[in-house]
Chains A and B, each alone.
Chain A
Amino acid sequence: MGGTDLRVLAYLDANSGSLIASAIAGGLAGVAVVFKMGRARVAQFFSPKKRREAAAERAAESE
C-alpha cells in the first residue's frame, strides 16, 4: 500500500452525497466525472427505483 492509499483512512466520515455534491460544485468537469463513474451511480441519482434497489443491496450486505 503506497502513501497515497493510506489517505483513504481519513478520520472524517466520507459522506457519499457530499462527495458527489462537491464534484458537481466543481463545475462541468466534476459533473463529467460523476457520469464517468458509470450508469449505476447516475441511475441512483435520478431513479427512485434504483435507489431502493441499492438500499436493499446494502441492507442484505450488512446482515
Chain B
Amino acid sequence: MTDVQRESASFRDPTGSVFYVDGRVLRGLDEAGAADYDTLAATTFFPELLADGKVVGTTALDASAVPEGATSWARVLEHDRVPFVSYPYEWSFSMLRDAAALHLDVLLAALGEKMTMKDGTAFNVQWRGATPVFIDVGSFERAGRGPWIGYRQFCGTFLYPMMLEAHLRIPFQRYLLGHLDGLEPTEMRQLLAGRRRFKKGVFRHVYLHSVAESRVTGGGQALKEEMGKAGFDLELTRAMVTKLRKLVGKLRSRRSDSAWSAYRDVCSYSDDDTAAKEAFVRSAVEGRGFNLAWDLGCNDGRYARLVAQHAGYVIALDGDDVVVDTLYRKLREDGVTNIQPMVMDLTDPSPARGWRGVERRSFEERSSPDLVLALALVHHLAIASNVPLDDVVGWFRSLDATLVVEFAHREDPMVKRLLANKQAGLFDDYGVERFDALLSERFTVERREALPGGTRTLYLCTPRS
C-alpha cells in the first residue's frame, strides 16, 4: 500500500492539495483546478517561468503514472522538491523583498495572458539557496473581472512587514511569526500615523486601505463582480500590480548598524587563529560527503561557504537579521547556489504554528542535518543567554549529527566581555575542562585542537550511540 502523506499546510484551497509519496512532492487537482492547470500549461509565460527557475519544476503525470492512493484527483502534478522549507518570518529584509518581487513578476506574467492568482501570501515562495522560487502552482486561475483578490494578503505578508523595516526600522520577523495571515491595515495605520503616513506607499496601501476597510463593508464576492461590471478589468489590475511592483523595488532597509555586523572588526581572532580554524573545518568536512549541514551562528558565512564546497547543502542561521541580509546579498552576488541563509534566534527557534500546530512546522522538525557547525556560539548561549552548558551539549547531541564546535575559554577577550555583564560567581563552572568532559560523555571526540591564540579550542566529534 502506497504511503500518501498530506502536506499539513495544504488545505485552504479546496480545489487541490499537496501530498508526498515516497519522497515525491505531488499536487492533486479537482476538475476546476485541472481546468485552470490546462489553461496554464498552454500559455507561453508558464514554460518560460519554469525554464528560468522562477516557478518550481512541475510536470503533469499521465494517469498511468499516478501512484495508488492519489487516483481520485482529476489531475496530479509532480513538483521538484525544494532543499529546505523555510517561512517568511525566517527571512531577512532583502529576502522578503526579492520574494515579493518574484511573486508580483509571476503575477504580471500571468495577467499578460488572462490568468491571475487566487492568493498573494509570502508562503507561496520558497528558496533554492539564495534564489526565490514560486511554489504554489495551484494558485493560478483564469482571470475574471474585478481586482486581484490576493492584494490584501500580499499587503499583510509582504508589503507591511517590509514597511516595518523600511519606515520604522523594526525587524519584521517576530511580527510575521505572530500573524501568519499577515499584518492588518488598521494595525499598520496606527504604527504609521502622523507624518509617517506620507512615507513611500503608506498613504495608498495602508491609510486608504484601512479607511476603506472600516467604511466599506458587505458585498464580498458580489462587490468584486460589481466592480468588474463598472469597468475594473485586467488592464486596471495590471496597472495596480505594476505600481505595487515599483514600490516593492523602492523599499529599502536603512538599518546598517548591528552588534554582529561589527563582529569582524571587534572579534578576538588573530589571523593565525582564522587560518587555523579554516584548516580545521576544511579537514573535518573534506571527502566526508555530508548532505545537509547547519551552520549555527553563521555570521558572515565564511565557514558556511567553506563547508558548502564539500557538502550538498548548507543552512546558514544567525539571530541577527542584518547579518543574514548581508550574507544573502553576498551569496546572490557570488552566485552561490547551495547555501540558504535564515534568520533564527537559536534560544527561541521557530515554533510549530497555525492550524493544530502543524500547519507551519518547527525548525527542528523540518530537517535533520548530518553535520552541525557551531563556531563561536557556545559562549553566547552559555553566558549571554544563560543556557546551562550541560543543556547546550545535550542539544547538540539531540541533533544526532557530526559536530564541529568551538569553545572559547574563560581567558578569551569575548568571554571576558560577556562575563563582565554578569554577577561574579554565576559562571564559575564555565571552563574548557568541564566542556571537554560534557562533550566526551555524549560524543566521541575525533579531534581537538587549540587555536594559536591559546584561548579557543576546536572539536570534531561524532555522537555516541
Q: Which residues of A contact B (CB under 8 A)?
A: 3-27, 29-30, 32-34, 36-38, 41, 44-45, 51, 54-55, 58
Contact = CB atoms under 8 A, between A and B. Distances in A.
A24 B208 contact: yes
B212 A45 contact: yes
A8 B149 contact: no
Q: Which 9 A-B pairs have the closest CB atoms?
A: A17-B213, A26-B240, A18-B152, A7-B144, A21-B209, A22-B151, A17-B212, A21-B212, A22-B147
B268 interface: no
Given A8-B225, A23-B227, A33-B232, A16 B216 contact: yes
Interface string B226-243: 110011100011011001
A30 B384 CA distance: 54
Contact of A33 (B143, B153, B185, B227): B227
24 contacts: A4-B145, A7-B143, A10-B221, A14-B219, A14-B220, A16-B219, A16-B220, A17-B216, A17-B217, A18-B152, A19-B149, A20-B227, A21-B151, A22-B147, A23-B147, A25-B240, A25-B244, A33-B230, A33-B231, A34-B230, A38-B230, A44-B216, A51-B215, A55-B218
Contacts of B143: 4, 7
Given A22-B148, A25-B243, 16 more contacts: A5-B144, A11-B119, A14-B223, A15-B213, A16-B223, A18-B152, A18-B212, A19-B151, A21-B185, A26-B236, A26-B239, A27-B239, A27-B243, A30-B239, A45-B212, A45-B216
B232 A54 contact: no
Contacts of A6: 32
B11 to A, nearest CB: 10
Nearest to B226: A37
Given A12-B118, A26-B237, A17 B204 contact: no
Given A21-B213, A36-B230, A37-B227, A10 B218 contact: no
Given A5-B144, A30-B232, A37-B230, A20 B216 contact: yes
B141 interface: yes
Nearest to A41: B216
Interface in B263-318: none
A44 B215 contact: yes
Contacts of B185: 17-18, 21
Contacts of B12: 11
Nearest to A2: B144
A14 B279 CA distance: 58
B404 to A, nearest CB: 46
A20 B226 CA distance: 11
Contacts of B14: 11
A54 B144 contact: no
Interface in B14-36: 14-15, 32, 35
A25 B240 CA distance: 6
A57 B286 CA distance: 73
Contacts of B225: 8
Contacts of B151: 18-19, 21-22, 25
**Looking at chain A's contact residues, is the secondary structure mostly helix, strand, loop, or mixed?**
helix
B380 interface: no
A34 to B, nearest CB: 8
A18 B96 CA distance: 22
Nearest to B35: A3
A6 B221 CA distance: 11
A54 B35 contact: no
Contacts of A7: 141-144
B147 A12 contact: no
B274 to A, nearest CB: 50
B217 A16 contact: yes
B448 to A, nearest CB: 56
A5 B213 CA distance: 25
Nearest to A11: B13
A5 B222 CA distance: 11
B224 A8 contact: yes
Nearest to B148: A22
A21 B213 CA distance: 8
A3 B143 CA distance: 9
A33 B218 CA distance: 18
B146 interface: yes
Nearest to B235: A29
A33 B147 CA distance: 11
A13 B145 CA distance: 16
A21 to B, nearest CB: 4
A16 to B, nearest CB: 5
Contacts of A32: 231
Nearest to A27: B239
B178 interface: no
Contacts of A34: 227, 230
